[in-house]
Amino acid sequence: MMVLYSLMIIGGYVSAAGLGLTCPEWPLCPDGIMPSEEYLIEWIHRLVAATTGSLVIATMVASLINKNSDLKIKVTSSLATVFVITQIVLGAMVIDLKLHAVLVAVHLGIGILLFAMVLLTTLFAFRVSKTSMASKA
């Protein structure tokens, strides 16, 4: 949850500061895995995005594997995974199409939906946890 929120803050900064095309290639910057200083902010955004995507997908896999997982958690984590994959594709398209305004807006909108699904997954998980703890007491 915090990683996703950090990603949204960094993404907002990248957009507001006009740094969206400082790293004009996708997925890596021209210098490869470790970028030079001029690509650092955009590279950090991409690194945090990759970390977020991995965590969201891992959450979905864990919820689907766990037979005791609540259906709400399975649905919201699966939707979050769909939105993460959509964000990856949109992020690549935003760079490829040189920050086309409609794509940037859709990227933001899907990001908000992703945040909502991760928030719901977290809330449902805590609710289930509190319920199971109360029944054991």
Spatial separation of the C-alpha atoms in residues 127 and 75, rounded to whole Å: 15
Provide the 8-state DSSP code for 29: B
> Is the torsion defined by CA of 96, 49, 85, 110 positive or negative?
negative
Q: Is position 25 annotated as part of the catalytic site?
A: no
Residues 70 and 124: beta-carbon distance below 8 Å: yes
Instruction: Spot the catalytic one: 25, 37, 38, 42.
Output: 42
* Residues designated as active site: 42
